[in-house]
Structure 1
Amino acid sequence: MKSAKHKVLHPVAGRPMLLHLLSSIAELDPERQVVVVGAGRDQVEAAVAGTGAVIAVQEQQLGTGHAVAQAHDALAGFAGDILILYGDVPLVRPETMRAMLDRLNLGDELRAVVLGFRPEDAGAYGRIITNGQGIIGKMVEYKDADAAERAVTLCNSGLMAVRSTDLFVLLDKIGNNNAAGEYYLPDIIMLPGTQSAVIETEAWEVAGVNSRAEQAVIEAAWQDRRRSEAMRDGATLIAPETVFFAYDTALGRDVVIEPNVVFGPSVTVADNVVIRAFSHLEGATIGTGAEIGPYARLRPGAKIGAKAKVGNFVEVKKAELGEGAKVNHLSYIGDASIGTGANIGAGTITCNYDGFFKYKTEIGAGAFIGSNSALVAPVKIGEGAIVGAGSVVTQEVEADALCLVRPVQEGKPGWAARFRAKMQARKAAK
């Protein structure tokens, strides 16, 4: 990845790859979770804090079999089934994990179940040779395969399900008599006296990430599926390929999303919301029938009430808009509460930061804030109050009051014509 960040912590849809995997695993309610890590332990340990996973360290990098063996102490006393997964293969579904475990326990005394797939181009993947009934006769690396074996399209993903009573016994039996001098996990399948089976899944589910380019491919695949889910569940995406979701985006029914909308993490959208083009949303909650954008930005803590409107070139941060409130144009609303039906004029700014601390602006229901106003927090605008355009408000405005903060307008007849004549004469004299 050419990065200071550990590979498995690079994100897909706003979430580190490893956490995608652990989230899927959590749906199986595992008794134990062990993350085997070599370099970058501190990063990984911090990332999995709170997930229930424990860290096992592979001090020397001696192959995949050696890596799995490092989980031995963390699994001491465990009697059950073990799934072996990879942190850079993040899209494996809980249903597939469950299918692997179910096949392991079908009753035909398997030692292991391997997850296979059939890519469009089998290329240099290891091949799985079966008896036609899913029982593995041979697993062979591409470089060691003959022409007939290379013609097989069933490939090895490396993911396995193994009984705890078998795993470490089998690992003790494999050697490292190969070109790399490493202990390969797939070698446990070919040990004498063992029988293993393969189940298949789609290639996208076991796609791995070893570069930024492969990360982009995984991201694109994830987004394509999420867009399809959104439309299947009742949202309209005008140009689906231009909409980008986060891993936890929640959409109601009859939501309309126009082109070039980006969702960051933690966005919840209720029914009948319209999100117009070129909007960016993160950490926001949007109520029923609200309208967002175009060119709107909702930042964390934005709570948009039912039928409220956040218009073009408006930014909202840690602020709540009541039902039917409107912020239609060219405004920044931060650390604020805006009451039901209030109207915020174009160019209004809540001045919430003094360089050291943040302060709150409170605007009552039905209030009207004139265009190009600056509300210097902390400040309260009462219900039904009107703030005249161009005001700089620094003190509380009572309910139903008019607030004007600007000098008296003065007109000087003919001044502009006299000024132009004077300046033109000065310019001509040079």
Structure 2
Amino acid sequence: YKPIDTSKEESRILTLSVDGSAYALLVESAEDMGHIERENYESVEKNNDMIAGFYKQQNRICQVIDTEAVCHSIALQSYTPIEVEEMNSLEETMKEHSSSNTTMERFLFFRLGEESFALPLYLTREIIFVPDNFTPLSETKEEVIGIITLRDELITTLSLPKVFGYSETLTEPQQRLLIVFHEGKSLALLVDEVEDVKDIPLDDLEQAHMNQKGSKIEALYKTQSSITSVIDSFYIRDMILQYHIQDEKENNFTKNEKEGEEMVEVVVFGIDKEEYALDIENVQEIIKYCEVTPIPEAPQFVEGMINLRGAVIPIISLPDRLGFTKNVTEESKILVSIIEDEKVGLFVDEVKEILSVENRFISRSKSEDSLFSEILNLENGKRVILKLRNSNIIDSQTLDKIRTEEEALV
């Protein structure tokens, strides 16, 4: 092969670790990154060659390089990496400096196939159930499912699994539609499952240097157990503008904004067979249910406490608080909220959706002492959702007692 032209924008360096040593492979371009399906991989007998096997894709066969053989062939003494203490100390200094001024951004995490993805929450107007029917569109791309009507607004619906090359069916109960918006225009994106809402330090995002999935991925968020692909916000905005349906009359959402009509945004969750809600500004994160450490002499509805990234927070069982029986399932979630300047986790059976509700569908309680602040009357009275008053979920005296018990345990 000819020497690689490093002046070209497509050239990339792939870094890897073999036997505890770091190596870098210079390639002409990086095309894709993903998991190998075992049934499409065929290994070859070990010899002096540097090919470990072949991977069959739809239209081609890829040679799989034996990275161990390649790296051992160049592992000369002169290539052994050395530690540069001054550079390391400078890097650590920069990290310490940046950590004190870390910028946080809230992301919505969801699943496509078996992979984890995220996008900035500010792009998401609401999350809704998948309707039974879509209005089909003729002569459209494969990823276009059809049109839905949401409060008299016509919205194009795309299958995000198909956009990213995954298979898709419309039969899974955990599937949701993300209503994303930009410049008053909306688009519905089908995802396989909504997982979490998290505040992420932007310094923890690793820039995606490769042209992954056709410039759809902006960054990677890595933890010990998973890697999440962060979708480029500009790519989402471009899709919204591309697929927005230009209606002859302005839709209700845009009209309400122009006329100053306030919309209340809420997180809707289920307990037993009932639906409840919290203002979205009262929900910092949505995390999966995890093991809880009991707190001695706590009220029945205070389940215990968990360690969330170094912070100990109490967990309140909303089913017990509201008089239901707690039932832990795979759909169970913890809503991380702020009550009296204290982080508190609220256990719920499941998180259903994020809704924007017009004021005309809201009845407000006159009592400030009530646990429920508002009633959301939707779908012509067929759907009634009680919205909790965050400050009345637990009283200050009980919260002080929990703090004391936590300090004793920690």
Q: Which structure exhibits the higher relative contact order, with contacts defined as CA atoms closer than 8 Å and separated by 6 or more residues?
A: 2
Q: Return the structure number with greater strand share.
A: 2
Does the pair score TM above 0.5?
Answer: no
TM-score normalised by the chain length of structure 2 = 0.23
- Rg comparison, structure with higher value: 1
TM-score, structure 1 length as denominator?
A: 0.23
